[in-house]
Amino acid sequence: MDTSEYMPMFVAETREHLDQLNLAIVRLEADPTDRPTVEEIFRIAHSLKGMSATMGFSRIAELTHEMEDVFELLRQRTSGLPVEAIDTVFACLDALSVATEAIETDGQEALDPAPLVARLRALVRPRTPEQEMARVGIADPLDQAAVLAAQEAGARVLRVRVTLTEDVLMPAVRAHMVLAALTEHGEIL
């Protein structure tokens, strides 16, 4: 099937979808609970994948397919995406923009999706508890053992980092107040 007559429409719609995705991701960063935006992101990615496949741009279709997997995870979560996922999605959107420009210029997608696909797959691949602890910076084996024991007991484990400003009055008292407030909501490991 000769798709050349549809090329200008494909390029225009792809740019529009990429702009919409960029804006939607920014909105989601501001409000991770915005379910309509989550659904919009998934719909746009699905449209991009379908349009690309129809036009024969398999690399764009492959990358957007992998992005859909991350967005599907987003649909299942209520806490938004972690920073590493947002960064990866923006890197994908940048690569898709470059590929779209190349398609408009010479009709070929200038995209090697493999590095971005690997990053996307790492986001959706289940991590072992040990990998997750290393990712968030829990390196002490005793701390890891306490976290694993709590998780195995069915507890929800959170890592909380509090930073006091340098000019805070009575830092030891403030730190004690933070610990006291945290113990009202759970056990400190």
CATH of residue 78's domain is 1.20.120.160
Q: Are residues 107 and 137 in the same domain?
A: no
Tens digit of pLDDT for each residue in 99-124? 999 999 998 888 999 999 999 988 87
Query: Whole-angstrom Cα distance, residue 15 to residue 39?
Result: 19
Q: What is the dihedral of CA 35, 120, 54, 100, to 10 degrees?
A: 100
Shared domain check, 133 and 120: no
pLDDT at 144 over 80: no
Residue 155 lies in a domain: yes
- Predicted confidence band at 131 (pLDDT cuts at 50, 70, 90)? low
Tokens (6 digits) for 38 = 């989550």
CA distances in angstroms from 53 to 13, 50, 60, 78, 104, listed in the order given: 14, 5, 8, 31, 16
| 77 and 150 co-located in one domain | no
What is the percent of the chain where pLDDT is above 90?
37
Do 100 and 11 have their domain in common? Answer: yes
Check whether residue 102 and residue 137 sit in a common domain. no
Token pair of 85 as six digits: 């996922």
pLDDT at 136 over 70: no
- Judgement on whether residues 78 and 19 belong to the same structural domain of the protein: yes
- Split into its structural domains, the chain has a count of 2
Q: Tell me whether residue 37 is in a domain.
A: yes
Q: Is the pLDDT of residue 91 over 80?
A: yes
Instruction: Note whether residue 188 is domain-resident.
Output: no
93 in a structural domain: yes
164 and 77 share a domain?
A: no
- In tens, the pLDDT along 57-89 reads 999 999 999 998 888 877 877 677 778 888 999
User: Average of pLDDT values for 23-29?
Assistant: 91
Q: Is residue 47 part of a domain?
A: yes
99: containing domain: 4-124
> pLDDT: is 176 or 106 the higher one?
106
> What confidence score (pLDDT) does residue 81 get?
77
Q: What is the pLDDT of residue 155?
A: 77
